[in-house]
């Protein structure tokens, strides 16, 4: 029900506009990311953006969905390539950090939208309560932890809390510029993996 029949040209143009929006958000941030600025980076007129997207909210919304899908599929793919629970946990942590590093432009754009865009009811995205619309990454992490406990390789702990701690530890990396500068993501990742292997392991 989502996919309307879309011309080749229209599809390509929409992608181009979204790429330009990513670049704009990364360079000058959400507040200054006007249609004019986005159009300038795409090399097109602002009216063309209005032609392909209902309004600015529509554009940002589509971009947010796309950026989240990209990040989620990258991490899930790497995680599910592994065949043991411990390797999956490790892969999840490393892939999350790797994405932040290798796709920093997209990652910044994602942050700029999440912390600035609001729903029609003026609720900021970072405060949206996702009851039905669950967070797939958090679900995957909980699945790994739960399976590990069931298989007896992990010890006893509260899955919900442990998942939150792991996610927080990953997310904190990019919001601690001092750390980001002094410790590269691979090193930080390996240390996180080591630490959580100890923490999570059956004692």
Question: How far apart, in whole angstroms, are the C-alpha atoms of residue 81 and residue 104?
Answer: 23
Return the one option of a copy of itself, DNA, none that residue 176 interacts with (CB less than 5 to 8 A, by type): a copy of itself
The entry of DNA, a copy of itself, none that residue 139 binds, CB within 5 to 8 Å by partner kind: none
CB of 26 to DNA, least distance (A): 16
The count of C-alpha atoms lying within 13 angstroms of the C-alpha of 6, restricted to the half-sphere facing its C-beta, is 13
Using CB under 7 A as the binding rule, whether residue 187 contacts DNA is answered as no
Q: Give 48 or 174: the residue with its C-beta nearer to a copy of itself.
A: 174
**Residue with smaller CB distance to a copy of itself, 2 or 127:** 127
Stretch near a copy of itself under the rule CB under 8 A, chosen from 5-13, 66-74, 81-89, 169-177: 169-177
Buried b (16+ CB within 10 A) or exposed e, 42-54: bebeeeebeebbe
Taking CB under 8 A as the rule, does residue 121 contact a copy of itself? no
Q: Rule CB under 8 A: is residue 199 a binding residue for a copy of itself?
A: yes
83 touching a copy of itself, by CB under 8 A: no
Kindly state whether residue 34 participates in binding a copy of itself, applying the rule CB under 8 A: no
Q: Which 11-30 positions form the footprint of DNA (CB under 7 A)?
A: 13
Separation of first and last alpha carbons in the chain: 50
Cα separation, 24 vs 109, in Å, equals 8
Between 64 and 138, CB nearer to a copy of itself: 138
CA 109 to CA 157: how far, in whole Å? 35
Interaction between residue 10 and DNA (CB under 7 A): yes
What's the CA gap between 60 and 25, in Å, rounded?
A: 10
Phi and psi at residue 118, to the nearest 5°: -135, 155
């Amino acid at each position: 029900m989502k996919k309307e029949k879309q011309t080749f040209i229209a599809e390509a143009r929409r992608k181009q506009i979204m790429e330009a929006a990513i670049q704009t958000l990364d360079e000058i941030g959400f507040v200054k990311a006007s249609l004019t600025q986005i159009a300038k980076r795409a090399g097109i007129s602002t009216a063309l953006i209005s032609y392909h997207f209902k309004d600015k909210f529509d554009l940002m919304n589509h971009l947010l969905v796309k950026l989240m899908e990209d990040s989620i599929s990258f991490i899930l793919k790497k995680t599910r390539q592994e065949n043991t629970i411990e390797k999956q946990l490790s892969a999840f942590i490393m892939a999350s950090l790797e994405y932040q590093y290798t796709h920093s432009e997209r990652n910044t754009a994602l942050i700029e939208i999440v912390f600035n865009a609001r729903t029609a009811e003026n609720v900021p995205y970072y405060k949206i309560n996702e009851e039905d619309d669950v967070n797939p990454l958090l679900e995957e992490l909980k699945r790994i932890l739960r399976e590990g406990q069931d298989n007896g390789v992990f010890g006893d702990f509260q899955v919900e809390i442990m998942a939150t701690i792991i996610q927080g530890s990953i997310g904190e990396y990019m919001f601690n510029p001092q750390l980001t500068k002094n410790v590269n993501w691979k090193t930080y990742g390996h240390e996180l993996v080591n630490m959580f292997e100890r923490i999570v392991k059956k004692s």
